[in-house]
Amino acid sequence: MYVAFCCGLICIIGAGSFFLRNVSFAGTLKSPGSVNGGASGLILVPMPHEIRAETALSLKNGVSISTASGDPEDNFAAKDLVSTLKRRGVDVRDDKNGSAKIVLLRQETKKAKDVLTRARISFDPAMHDEGYALVTDGDTMYDIAATSAGMYYGAQTIKQLIVGRHENAALHAVVARDWPAMKYRGLDDDLGHGPIPTLAFQKHQVRVLSEYKVNIYSPYFENELAYAASPLAAPPGGTMTRADVEELVRYAQKYHVTIVPEQEAFGHLHHALVFDTYSQLAETPHGNVLAPGQPGSIQLIQQWFTEIASMFPGPFMHIGADETRDLGIGQTKPLVEREGVSKAYIDFVKQIYTALEPLHKRLLFWGDIAMKDPALVKTLPKDMIAVAWRYHLQPEGYDKWLLPFVDAGMETWVAPAAAYGKLVYPNNYDALHNIQGFVRDGQRLGSTGELNTVWNDAGEGVFNQDWYGVLFGAAASWQTGTSSIPQFENSYGQVFHGDLTGKINQAQMEIMAAQLTFRQAGLDSATDELFWIDPWSQQGQIASAKLLPVVHEMRLHAERAIILIDQARAAGPLRETDAVDAVELGARRIDFIGYKFQAAQEIIEEYDRAYKKQNDPANRYDVGQLLATISGGYGQCQDLRNGYGLIRDLHKQVWLSGNRPYWLDNIMAHYYLEMELWTQRSDQFNNAIAQFHETHTLPEPEDMGLPTAATF
């Protein structure tokens, strides 16, 4: 690539040829709103506020990209666009004889005003901070914005408008006006329950999030931030250091992303309070909640957040303060009995606010506890930001989680969940509907931000499985009103993975269908518990009775997803291949849940038949065959051992593609235990086979560890 800096211009040239069908949609600008399929058939995430598609431009002879502002951030947007196009196979050259041109213009320039006038569109005040206009005029697409952020976001839309590679590349020509519905569009990434991303992966997260116009990345800490003044609780190999933070902050600034630290400052502090150094601060011995009555509690919070403020230059800090369920059952019991748990909670939050006021940051806090007493909410400082959270679809809407704070005159953000719970793969049906409804209601009630969330409660989650819900959350917070789920479902694979076959979209739908079969069976979803549970335990047999009637349907959905993923890879090349691997891991874990319960039930039934036939010499061959099916070269015990081993290796590979080794052995230990369990059971059945050959008798089913009932 050749980048020429001359006369305040960056000029980057490329070559290619025509691929896309020549589409022409003339007409006025259209507000897509919640229209399924987008405007004029365009595949974009998020969908611009107003857009009209015009005749596609061939990139057969290349594309040039220039900006005349001289602003370093505008120059960065141009160079980032070129770098992306090169990675995606759009050829570039060092001359200006391309068939298409992309020009980045500041809105106040005469050239930009002339372009807008010819397009008969205006640049309204709502567009000023982060909005942009795209105008195709002849063979040139103009990205017009008043700020570097708006310029950058316009360039991200242009990336999605270019489809195909090399001689097949083409640019969807459009006229568009776009600006965000919500000022703050963020993601809260759980670093407190197992996976700790590498710094390289966090940079990748920031870069990708910015491409979908997210402007906040919020790492969630319990004891995962290394504090110089209190290093005790930070696990070696499992923390972000000051150097990590400073490098990430610098990196994120280029992409118009603010890093908002969240350090729990009330509850969820077990990993710190487990140390006896802090034992006097715990509400209960080695518990989860700081005791408000202990002066040392505020001192510890001041110590932590003073360091945080020195590392993170952004305007916000998040103090957590959710799920303080232990409050009032330990040291604070007399206070709670005297004044009530809500007042004890609110008063401590206000103490935290006062203690941190000298740091001159706006404090965010989770709203789940405070909302229980709307009258006391009105006593909270008005410049705090209440982050209302709810991670499941609420058919009646989300107003009740917001109104206590709205009525108190406080700023609110909404926090749905892209990934929540202890699942082998996110339940994206729930996630998309939860995000859609909560963001819709938040916008209606004046919420200024969305903080979409990813939670790894069991410590087994991998972020690369979460992009589906994360990107829909990005779209929902940028778009106005009720974001279209079908539109997103039809767009995700092409936009994120560059999959023009539709196979990735279909695979996601198949996994959602597989997840829904669990609910039809009376189970919540494909949980980690179901993946690990012994199917012959009491709880395992209860789950088996529910799952077996639908397990065939569930497995077919999961297996179709695996096939579709392989077909998409073959048709490739795909982007974000680590994320594709992570989707396959989820599908295989779901499928294995089904096979485990099937095989376990088949073993019960096969041994029962063998046991009933053991006394008839004419059935000895059949008995031997039944026993060999249970434990032999192709035995079910071996299948289950091998299945856990295969998925173990895939899980490790996917984990290390984005996370540090920290915590991984906790998961691998579980795989090894399951492999050992089925190896031991195989040996036990092999002993039974040997006994049968010698004595023509078999142990009692109960002695083999089989459930007492033959079928469930």
Q: What is the DSSP string of 17-39?
A: ---S------SS-B--TT-TT-S
* Confidence bin at 10 (pLDDT 50/70/90): very low
Q: In terms of Cα–Cα distance, which of 271, 428, 404, 431 is closest to 346? A: 404
The answer to whether 685 touches 693, Cβ cutoff 8 Å, is: no
Q: What are phi and psi of 619, to 5 degrees?
A: -100, 5
* Confidence bin at 166 (pLDDT 50/70/90): confident
- Region 90-110: mean pLDDT is 84
What percent of the chain clears pLDDT 90, i.e. is strictly above it? 88
For the cut 50, the answer to whether the pLDDT of residue 444 exceeds it is yes
What percent of the chain clears pLDDT 70, i.e. is strictly above it? 93
Which of 175-179, 361-365, 615-619 bottoms out in mean pLDDT, i.e. has the lowest?
615-619
pLDDT at 24: 32
For the cut 80, the answer to whether the pLDDT of residue 548 exceeds it is yes
pLDDT at 95: 66
- Region 677-704: mean pLDDT is 96
HSE of 12, CA atoms in CB hemisphere, 13 A: 24
Residue bearing tokens 């199917």: 535
The letter for the amino acid at 192 is: G
Q: Which two tokens stand for residue 256?
A: 């118009």
pLDDT at 60: 87
Q: Hey, CA dihedral for 330, 335, 338, 339, is it positive or negative?
A: negative
The answer to whether 485 touches 448, Cβ cutoff 8 Å, is: no
The answer to whether 417 touches 397, Cβ cutoff 8 Å, is: no
Q: Coil, helix or strand for 48?
A: coil
The 10s digit of each residue's pLDDT in 623-657 is 999 999 999 989 999 999 999 999 999 999 999 99
pLDDT at 421: 85
d(CA 367, CA 342): 12
d(CA 118, CA 135): 9
d(CA 469, CA 516): 16
For the cut 70, the answer to whether the pLDDT of residue 606 exceeds it is yes
The answer to whether 575 touches 162, Cβ cutoff 8 Å, is: no
The 10s digit of each residue's pLDDT in 69-99 is 889 999 999 999 999 998 999 977 766 676 7
pLDDT at 94: 65
Interaxial angle between packed helices 551-571 and 503-520, expressed in degrees from 0 to 180 and rounded to the nearest 10: 170
Give the strand order in the sheet containing 140-145.
50-53, 174-178, 132-137, 140-145, 100-106, 63-67
d(CA 439, CA 481): 8
pLDDT at 709: 54
Q: In sequence order, which residues have a C-beta less than 8 Å from that of residue 117 and are 6 or more positions away?
A: none
For the cut 50, the answer to whether the pLDDT of residue 221 exceeds it is yes
d(CA 449, CA 433): 18
List, in sequence order, every residue forming a beta bridge with 102; answer none if it has no partner.
65, 141
pTM over 0.85: yes
The answer to whether 290 touches 297, Cβ cutoff 8 Å, is: yes
d(CA 227, CA 265): 14
For the chain, the straight-line distance linking the first and the last C-alpha, in angstroms and rounded, comes to 66
* Confidence bin at 15 (pLDDT 50/70/90): very low
Q: In terms of Cα–Cα distance, which of 185, 176, 181 is closest to 155? A: 176
Which whole-number Å values give the CA distances from 166 to 58, 268, 358, 472, 499, in the listed order?
11, 52, 56, 29, 16
Q: Which two tokens stand for residue 179?
A: 């600006």
Q: What are phi and psi of 446, to 5 degrees?
A: 90, 15
d(CA 226, CA 240): 6
Q: Across 250-378, where does the E strand assignment appear?
A: 258-259, 262-263, 316-318, 362-366
The 10s digit of each residue's pLDDT in 661-688 is 999 999 999 999 999 999 999 999 999 9
For the cut 60, the answer to whether the pLDDT of residue 449 exceeds it is yes
Better-scored residue on pLDDT, 64 or 442: 442
Q: What are phi and psi of 456, to 5 degrees?
A: -120, 55
